[in-house]
């Protein structure tokens, strides 16, 4: 609990919220999407709470969420002072949920720009009932697809996954997907080991699950390339990802 205390103090909304599933939505300039997305998640036949982690978007994303909190008592908001990376947003979200009086059984991470279809959320959660600790919405397992990607983007993504599988010795098809469902049992045991600031958080969590013997499964999804909003993948984030993999290799050689 001590890991989550600072985030708990900064959360806005009903901190007594009691839900089976916590949904983390990291945002930056998603004002055009966030209201509709929250409404669609709220309409699902699931017992959810929603945590929006906004990096002080200049387009008023946080202000939109604050207004929606009047309608949705299960909607939480954490506003960070600046754009600080996807990895830190996700780990801040994990800590925030783990700090609540009533901790959800599962925590889902997903994009807020409709790259991930909220209607797929029940399928991710349903797979947790078989004893999984991490279910990945996979673009590359049988039945998974991507839509709207250039040939170059496909090569980069496939290559990144191939490198991750080789370095970490994984049998997963999609190590880098951000549409996931975690058990809080897994998060409680691994939160202190998560340090990634950007997109390499996806690899770091998979690595922890693999090394600690947690069960991981994949379910096929259709990933739509930024149907709304702008792509956020930067050259620096790609460099961080590659750097993380090389550090992992170096650690293995020295251990």
Is 153 exposed, middle or buried (CB count within 10 Å of its CB: 0-12, 13-18, 19+)? middle
pLDDT of residue 5: 43
pLDDT digits over 47-89, tens only? 999 999 999 999 999 999 999 999 999 999 999 999 888 999 9
Q: Contact, 27 vs 34, CB < 8 A?
A: yes
- The Cβ of residue 148 has, within 10 Å, a number of other Cβ atoms equal to 11
Cα 34 versus chain centre, distance: 16
* Pairing of β 106-109 and β 21-27: parallel
- Exposed e or buried b per residue across 65-103, where buried means at least 16 C-beta atoms within 10 angstroms of its C-beta: bbebbeebebbbbbbbeeebbbbbbbbbbbbbbbbbeeb
**Sequence-separated (6 or more) residues with CB below 8 Å from residue 202:** 175, 176, 177, 178, 180
How many domains, in total, are found in the chain? 1
pLDDT of residue 32: 94
pLDDT digits over 88-110, tens only? 999 999 999 999 999 999 999 99
Closest-CA residue to 207 (of 165, 153, 149, 173): 165
d(CA 62, CA 66): 6
Q: Model pTM?
A: 0.87
| CATH number where 219 lies | 3.90.550.10
pLDDT of residue 240: 57
pLDDT of residue 199: 82
Beta-bridge partner residues of 78: 53
**DSSP readout, 94-141?**
HHHHHHSSS--SEEEE--SSSSS-GGGHHHHHHGGGGT-SEEEEESSS
- Percent helix, strand, coil in the chain, to 5, is 45, 15, 40
Domain membership of residue 179 as a residue range:
5-254
Helix or strand or coil: residue 165? helix
Q: What is the mean pLDDT, run by run of 10 residues, along the chain of 255 residues? A: 50 95 97 97 98 96 97 97 92 96 97 95 93 96 91 82 80 93 97 89 92 95 71 51 54 44
For residue 101, report the phi and psi dihedrals to the nearest 5 degrees: -60, -40
Helix (H) or strand (E) holding 64: helix 61-68
pLDDT of residue 180: 98
């Amino acid at each position: 609990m001590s890991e989550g205390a600072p985030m708990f103090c900064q959360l806005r909304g009903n901190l007594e919220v009691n839900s089976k599933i916590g949904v983390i939505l990291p945002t930056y300039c998603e004002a055009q999407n966030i209201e509709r997305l929250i409404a669609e998640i709220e309409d699902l036949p699931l017992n959810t709470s929603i945590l929006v982690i906004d990096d002080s978007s200049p387009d008023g994303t946080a202000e939109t969420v604050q207004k929606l909190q009047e309608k949705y008592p299960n909607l939480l908001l954490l506003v960070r002072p600046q754009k600080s990376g996807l990895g830190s947003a996700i780990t801040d979200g994990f800590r925030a949920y783990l700090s609540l009086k009533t901790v959800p059984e599962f925590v889902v991470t997903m994009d807020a720009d409709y790259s991930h279809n909220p209607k797929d959320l029940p399928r991710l959660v349903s797979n947790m009932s078989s004893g999984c600790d991490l279910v990945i919405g996979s673009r590359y397992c049988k039945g998974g697809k991507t839509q709207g990607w250039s040939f170059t983007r496909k090569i980069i993504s496939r290559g990144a996954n191939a490198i991750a599988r080789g370095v970490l010795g994984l049998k997963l098809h999609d190590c880098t997907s951000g549409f996931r469902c975690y058990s809080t049992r897994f998060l409680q045991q691994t939160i202190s080991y998560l340090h990634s600031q950007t997109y390499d958080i996806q690899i770091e969590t998979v690595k922890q699950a693999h090394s600690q013997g947690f069960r991981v499964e994949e379910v096929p999804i259709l990933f739509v390339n930024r149907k709304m909003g702008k792509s956020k993948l930067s050259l620096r984030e790609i460099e961080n990802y590659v750097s993380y993999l090389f550090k992992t290799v170096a650690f293995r050689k020295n251990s």
